[in-house]
Amino acid sequence: MEPEELRDFERQLLDFSLLPVVLPRSHDGKDPGLDSILENTIDPIKRVVPTLHGQCSLGEFNSFWLMGVPLVVKLGGDLQCDWSPISLATLFGSDKCTVVDCEDRGYKEECLVDEFLRVKLPRRQGCILKLKDYPPDTTLKLKSSDLGRDFNSAVPVCEYCSDSGPLNIANYFPINYSCMPDLRPKIYAAMASQQDRRQHGSTRLHMDISDAVNIMANIDGEARWEIFTAEDTKLLGSFIKSRFKKLKKCRAGDSVNAYHVYLTPDHLEVLRVNYKIVPFTFHQSFRDVVYIPAGCAHQVSNITPCVKVAMDFLSPQSLERCFEVDRMF
Ligand SMILES: O=C(O)CCC(=O)C(=O)O
């Protein structure tokens, strides 16, 4: 599909009101007060991430997603399988894998999945290693039909977050399209980062061209996220170029996207005071689903070893931002 055709498609969806918007409701049916949630969300100093408990209907999702802000859904009983490192090691242990160093973009090492998950992942010292985009060459469903099914049935708003969802624009790309987005759910497993005031993180600052959904899948997993809005990108880029000499010559978008930096608490304080930019900051624990809109710079620090399952998608609401990211590079 050409960009103009995608825009037409977006207009049609909006014109025909196919994107219902409803107020979020709590379990007891009471309206938790959309106004107060939104007030704290859009307040540029508070930046409280909207959080829903138990479920998220299509209408509720749309009411937040239209604003281009992240969303957290705390699942109730969903995600039934055992996604612990030991269980994954039992299932996939004999596979070879490539793990990367979260702090050194040039470092890679090969090992067996079993060795990474059982031996390296629990370590608290040395480099912070990550197994990314697993399985690399097939679908999760084919690797384990149970895990594939578990992810599909747990993830809220399958209208967007599935490889057959009618609101996932990526599903309308022609087969063999040259820039086909990768829609497979993928497993991430990474060691805990050190929690000090230095440059540590499990996923450095970057932004993605598509939307993403990310579920914490292991019981003891906990990670801290910082997500900026797309409107923050320019100022964020100026700040990074002024602070990090090696990025001085990058364009603003590149400096944000380069996976070069992890913003420390001191950086975040300067951003707040001097640039008036505050990211959405929150903790993700077991069964928390995080939705990250396309074009929103974000970084993650694992407080414990984490297993996450994540998937990219492309919503009509994010098309404009997707084009914007594309123009930056
Ligand atoms: O869970 C993580 O470490 C973050 C993953 C992420 O940011 C991404 O895939 O874009």
CA 95 from centroid of its chain's CA atoms: 26
**Which residue puts its alpha carbon closest to atom 6 of ligand 1?**
203
Tell how far the Cα of 300 is from the centroid of ligand 1, in angstroms.
7
Asked whether the whole model's pTM tops 0.85, one would answer yes
| C-alpha count within 13 angstroms, C-beta hemisphere, residue 283 | 7
In which order are the strands placed within the sheet that holds 298-302?
A: 203-206, 298-302, 222-227, 280-285
Let me know the angle formed at the C-alpha of 327 by 279 and 227, rounded to the nearest 5 degrees. 10
Tell how far the Cα of 39 is from the centroid of ligand 1, in angstroms.
27
Looking from the CA of residue 308, the nearest atom of ligand 1 is 1
- For 164-210, the DSSP string reads T-TT-GGGGSPTT-TT------EEEEEPPPP-SSSS--SEEEE--SS
Give the residue from 98, 104, 116, 309 showing the smallest Cα distance to 201. Answer: 104
Looking from the CA of residue 208, the nearest atom of ligand 1 is 10
Q: Where does the pLDDT of residue 17 fall: very low under 50, low under 70, confident under 90, or very high at 90 and above?
A: very low
Classify residue 48 by its DSSP letter. P
- Domain count across the chain: 1
Tell how far the Cα of 30 is from the centroid of ligand 1, in angstroms.
33
In tens, the pLDDT along 51-69 reads: 999 989 998 899 899 999 9
Out of 100, 131, 134, 188, give the residue to mutate to test ligand 1, the one with the largest number of ligand atoms within 8 Å of its CB. Answer: 188
**Cβ(230)–Cβ(316) below 8 Å:** no
Tell how far the Cα of 11 is from the centroid of ligand 1, in angstroms.
30
Answer with the residue of higher pLDDT: 179 or 47. Answer: 47
Give the lowest-confidence range in 3-7, 52-56, 325-329: 3-7
User: What is the domain-level CATH number for residue 108?
Assistant: 2.60.120.650
Q: Where does the pLDDT of residue 328 fall: very low under 50, low under 70, confident under 90, or very high at 90 and above?
A: confident
Out of 100, 133, 182, 214, give the residue to mutate to test ligand 1, the one with the largest number of ligand atoms within 8 Å of its CB. Answer: 214
Pocket of ligand 1 (CB under 6 A): 188, 202-203, 208, 212, 214, 298, 300, 308, 310
State whether the Cα torsion 3-8-9-11 is positive or negative: positive
Task: Show the domain range for 224.
Answer: 3-328
